[in-house]
A and B are shown apart, each in its own frame.
Chain A
Amino acid sequence: MSAPRPPTDPSGLERYYVLTGGRSGPGGSASSLDVATLIVSRAAAVAGMQHEHEEIIRRCRDPLSVAELGAHLGLPFNILAVLLADLLDAGRVEARNPIPASGAGSGPDLALLEEVLSGLQRL
């Protein structure tokens, strides 16, 4: 009787809604994630895992930044952060935030700056 409905656009909000189970923003363990945070897998993927979770674990066997993950998976930062929160809570990945310019109350780390400087000078 009625013609089959055309498939809906999988690239928009509906896709993100499905991916995140309707959650819009990370809380807890993922709320401090930065675009330069490195993600490292700490366990292997398990059967029945959501495809995107599996993909993150696979790509992060070597440390990879949240920005790179987002670019490779085609996901915006806030959606990726929700998926990462699941994996962080389950202990399947570890997150390492970028080393900040200065620690609380202390000046910038001279040794770190020295390290960056000598790396740049070798380029």
Chain B
Amino acid sequence: MDFKGFDHPDRQTAGGTRSVKVMIAGGFGTGKTTMVRSVSDIKPLTTEETLTQASADVDNLIGVADKTETTVSLDFGKIGINDELVLYLFGTPGQERFWFLWNGLFKGALGAVVLVDTRRLASSFRAIEEMERQDVPFVIALNVFPDSKEHPIDEIRDALDIPPHIPVVACDARDRASSRDVLIALIRHLKERSAVALEPR
């Protein structure tokens, strides 16, 4: 056996490292990739999944070519939380109709940020609905584009029909500190949710 490069084959260094994942959702062009890029420790990467709509009937790749096939890309980045914990951020594909094809895309995620372009509120309706349907806890982040008009947060909350307990925050997805603050708002929201869940009945 070649153990070259394995200085300590039984080492526990970094052995305990675990991961958590957060999804960045929102309509097409709302700044999902921009946010992943601004807050990631690494240069954002792209991973792909080849989705075959008739895959349940296919036991091997022969004959796949005439099925409906789509390649869905996920842009992602990561943040080192500490020596033993890594946070992965995944920007969801722009076309929400593919989300359900990617099994478990949201499964195991701590929660999600749904980005909203205040000039095109409707573009994020689908994403919000999908979070509710899949029971993924989320916060709404209004990505303030340079030519966005001033929009009072309450007005937008009403327009998007967001219940009062879900935070709505404004951000600039290009800015690292601003994007980090959105993630902090999400984690605080998750803490509040779990505190409520832990309250004795």
Is chain A's interface secondary structure helix, strand, loop, or mixed overall? mixed
* A97-115 CB contacts (< 8 Å) to partner B: 97-102, 107-110, 112-115
Q: Take A35-B74, A110-B191 as given contacts and tell me if A24 and B108 are in contact as well, using a CB distance cutoff of 8 Å.
A: no
Task: Give the contacting residue for B85; candidates A22, A101, A116; CB below 8 A.
Answer: A116
Across the interface, which residues of B come within 8 angstroms of A13, CB to CB?
61, 64-65
Task: Give the contacting residue for B19; candidates A23, A37, A109; CB below 8 A.
Answer: A37
In the bound complex, how far is the Cα of B100 from the Cα of A68, in angstroms?
22
B109 to A101, Cβ gap below 8 A?
yes
Task: Give the contacting residue for A67; candidates B18, B20, B88, B183; CB below 8 A.
Answer: B88
B60 to A22, Cβ gap below 8 A?
yes
Produce 1/0 per residue, B8-29, CB < 8 A to A: 0100001101111100000000
A17 to B190, Cβ gap below 8 A?
no
The size bracket of the interface on B is 35 or more
What is the chain A residue whose CB lies nearest that of B105? A35
Max chain A Cβ within 10 angstroms of own Cβ: one of B20, B65, B79, B111: B20
In the bound complex, how far is the Cα of B49 from the Cα of A27, in angstroms?
17
Tally of A-B Cβ pairs under 8 angstroms: 173
Chain B interfacial positions (CB closer than 8 Å to A): 1-6, 9, 14-15, 17-21, 39, 45-50, 55, 58-62, 64-65, 71, 74, 76, 78-82, 85-88, 90, 104-105, 107-111, 137, 176-177, 180, 183-184, 187-188, 190-191, 193-195, 197-198
**16 other A-B residue contacts (CB within 8 Å) besides A35-B105, A40-B14, A98-B108:** A40-B15, A44-B2, A62-B17, A65-B19, A66-B47, A71-B45, A71-B46, A99-B18, A101-B111, A113-B110, A113-B190, A116-B20, A116-B87, A117-B188, A119-B80, A123-B177
